[in-house]
Amino acid sequence: MRFIDDTNAPKGKPQKVNIYDPKDDTTTPMPARELAPFMMKTTAIGGGKVFVDAREMKPGKTYYHPPFTFPPLVEAVRRMQMILTEVLPMTWKEWEDGFRRDLNAADEISKWDHLARAYQEVTDARGFSLEEKKDYFRVLLGCINASPEHALKVTELETISEDEARNAIDLFIRVAP
pLDDT in tens, 65-106: 999 999 999 999 999 999 999 999 999 999 999 999 988 899
Q: Is residue 111 part of a domain?
A: yes
Domain count, the chain: 1
Instruction: Using alpha carbons only, give the angle 96, 86, 40 rounded to the nearest 5 degrees.
Output: 60
pLDDT in tens, 123-163: 997 899 999 999 999 999 999 988 899 999 889 899 999 99
Domain limits for position 114:
58-174
Q: Is residue 33 part of a domain?
A: no
Q: Is residue 79 part of a domain?
A: yes
Is there a contact between 76 and 102 (Cβ–Cβ < 8 Å)?
no
Q: Is residue 67 part of a domain?
A: yes
pLDDT in tens, 145-154: 888 999 998 8
Please tell me the distance from the alpha carbon of residue 160 to that of residue 146, in angstroms, as a whole number.
Answer: 20
Angle between helices 162-174 and 105-123 (to 10 degrees): 120
State the pLDDT at residue 40.
Answer: 76
pLDDT in tens, 3-41: 233 334 445 566 888 888 888 888 899 888 888 766 778
Within 60-125, where are the H helices?
71-84, 92-100, 105-123
For the question of whether the overall pTM of this predicted structure is more than 0.85, the answer is no
* Average pLDDT, rounded, for the chain: 86
**Percent of the chain whose predicted confidence (pLDDT) is above 70:** 89
State the pLDDT at residue 34.
Answer: 81
DSSP state of 88: S
CA separation (Å) from 150 to 25, 36, 131, 164?
24, 10, 22, 16
Q: Is residue 40 part of a domain?
A: no
Q: Is residue 47 part of a domain?
A: no
pLDDT of 113 higher than 60: yes
Q: Is residue 108 part of a domain?
A: yes
Nearest to 39 by CA among 169, 177, 149: 149
Q: Is residue 26 part of a domain?
A: no
Please tell me the distance from the alpha carbon of residue 54 to that of residue 60, in angstroms, as a whole number.
Answer: 14
